A and B are shown apart, each in its own frame.
Chain A
Amino acid sequence: MRLSYPSSVKVIQVPCTGRVDIIHLLKAIEDGADGVYVAGCLEGECHYLSGNLKAKKRVQYVKKVLKEIGVEPERVEMFNLSAGEGPRFAEIAREMAERIKKLGPSPVNMKKAA
């Protein structure tokens, strides 16, 4: 559709968000990402039945753990949309980029904070 979304958002494609695990989200934060989000199918419409539900639980777990160590849980998020919703995809990207901009650089990312 050639819609634009912020260049600060880097997309990693997976066959199903069920493939995304806790360690992937943590590693992203560890390696300096200011935010990471998971965009999965609408609930009830997962092509692999419940992959997006598993992803949702994992995102919740990571949020909880980050809060425990003093990193804003809002830096990690789960979104649901249909594969055909191009504009929604771009909208989510903008929404998350805006959110992260407001939060500022990740407290983990010492280089940028300095």
Chain B
Amino acid sequence: MIIADRKPLEEIMQMVKDSNKILILGCKGCVTVCNVGGAKEVGILSSILKIARKKEGRPLEVDEKTIERQCDPEYIAQVKEIVAEYDAVISMACGVGPQFLSEAYPTQRFFPAVNTTCFGGATQHGVWSERCAGCGTCVIHFYDGMCPVARCSKSLMHGPCGGSARGKCEISKDVDCIWDMIVKKKMGEGHLEDLMTMKPTKDWRTARDGGPRKSVREELVQ
């Protein structure tokens, strides 16, 4: 799923500094799963902002609402009646949410409360790690189910580089060297020859490098 981290409180406070009444809009999708923008986190942010503003002597009125998702027009439509009541709206969804909201309600100001980072999954309770870079041409089956594009710091196709040490990436001891894992798995299975073939250079057109992407299901488009 899409992973995000809440922005620093100072930054969020700055976004609503001219507002007296705001709505915090959560999302039941990815941000609920990674505990950063669901109903619970909306409540927490609401309380924090109210405390901070009370302290300043300029109380902030905060309404809380969490919708199914912020990446589908039918859910975005659910806030139609209320959206104009506020000085500003904070969206706790991933980067898609505030944009869809802005498009649907151009006269309202929408602020992102989270920094969207990557596609990943839970590796441990409370920890989410990157697994996919969205390159548009998935090749994990050539690497025994591991992705060097997303998980190698240099996106090497023929790793590991000379900086791989004790299974860790040169950039940090907290980052596993995915190539160490790929090589060990391949050699362990007796498939060294898979690693010895030259991979063609990557076609980055399907990645963000080729420009903003669109997926069309012809069978569904009216």
Query: Which A residues have a C-beta under 8 Å from some C-beta of B?
Result: 22-23, 26-27, 29-30, 65-66, 68-71, 107-108, 110
Contacts and interface: CB of A to CB of B under 8 A. Distances in A.
Interface string B37-56: 00010011001101110110
Interface of B: 8-10, 13, 40, 43-44, 47-48, 50-52, 54-55, 57
B1 to A, nearest CB: 22
Contacts of B44: 22-23, 26
Is chain A's binding surface mostly helix, strand, loop or mixed? helix
Contacts, number: 38
B188 to A, nearest CB: 37
A27 B13 contact: no
A108 B54 contact: yes
B43 A71 contact: no
Contacts of B9: 65, 68-69
Please indicate which of the listed interface residues B8, B50, B55, B57 has the most CB atoms of chain A within 10 Å of its own CB.
B55
A71 B50 contact: no
11 contacts: A23-B40, A26-B48, A30-B54, A65-B9, A65-B48, A68-B8, A68-B9, A68-B10, A69-B51, A71-B55, A110-B54
A111 to B, nearest CB: 10
B47 A69 contact: no
A30 B55 contact: no
B47 A30 contact: yes
Contacts of B8: 68
Nearest to B40: A23
Please indicate which of the listed interface residues B50, B52, B57 has the most CB atoms of chain A within 10 Å of its own CB.
B52
